[in-house]
Amino acid sequence: MIWDPIKILNIFGFKLYIYSIFFFISFLLGIKKLKYFYKIDEQKIDYLIKYSLLGLLIGARIGHVLFYDFFYFKTNLLEAIFPIKNYKYIKSIKYIKYIGYQGLSSHGAAIGLLISTFFYNKKFIKKQFFWLCDRLCIIIAFSGSLIRIGNFFNSEINGKKSNFAFPFSIGFIQLYQDKIFKIKRYPSQLYESISYIIIYKILFFLSKKNKFNGYIFSIFLICIWSIRFLLEFLKEPQPNEMFFLFKLNTGQLLSIPFIIIGFLLFFKKKLKTIIYKFYYPF
Q: 210-266: per-residue pLDDT in tens?
A: 777 889 999 999 999 999 999 999 888 776 666 677 788 888 998 999 999 999 998
Q: pLDDT of 138-184, one tens digit each? A: 999 998 899 888 888 877 788 888 866 666 777 776 666 676 667 78
| Structural domain includes residue 86 | no
At 266, is the secondary structure helix, strand, or coil? helix
| Structural domain includes residue 92 | no
Q: How far apart are the C-alpha atoms of 59 and 73, rounded to whole Å?
A: 16
| Structural domain includes residue 201 | yes
Task: Average the pLDDT over 78-105 and give the result.
Answer: 62
| Structural domain includes residue 56 | no
Task: Average the pLDDT over 120-138 and give the result.
Answer: 87
Mean pLDDT of the chain: 78
Task: Average the pLDDT over 109-120 and give the result.
Answer: 90
| Band of residue 276 on the pLDDT scale cut at 50, 70, 90 | very low
Owning domain of residue 252: 2-38+129-279
Mean pLDDT highest for which of 80-94, 198-212, 267-281? Answer: 198-212
What is the total count of domains within the chain?
1
b/e code 125-135 from CB counts within 10 Å (16+ = b) = beeeebbbbbb
b/e code 155-183 from CB counts within 10 Å (16+ = b) = bbbbbeebeeeeeebbbbbeeeebeeeeb
CA-to-CA dists, residue 242 to 10, 53, 57, 69, 232, angstroms: 35, 26, 20, 7, 15
- Burial tier of 65 (Cβ tally within 10 Å: 0-12, 13-18, 19+): buried
User: Are 28 and 38 within 8 A, CB to CB?
Assistant: no
Whole-prediction pTM value?
Answer: 0.80
Task: State the pLDDT at residue 28.
Answer: 78
In the predicted structure, residue 16 carries a pLDDT above the cut 70: no
| Structural domain includes residue 77 | no
CA-to-CA dists, residue 278 to 147, 213, 270, 275, 282, angstroms: 45, 25, 12, 5, 9
In the predicted structure, residue 278 carries a pLDDT above the cut 60: no
| Structural domain includes residue 48 | no
| Structural domain includes residue 203 | yes
Lowest mean pLDDT among 21-25, 88-92, 186-190: 88-92
Q: How far apart are the C-alpha atoms of 148 and 104, rounded to whole Å?
A: 12
| Structural domain includes residue 274 | yes
Lowest mean pLDDT among 45-49, 115-119, 127-131, 269-273: 269-273
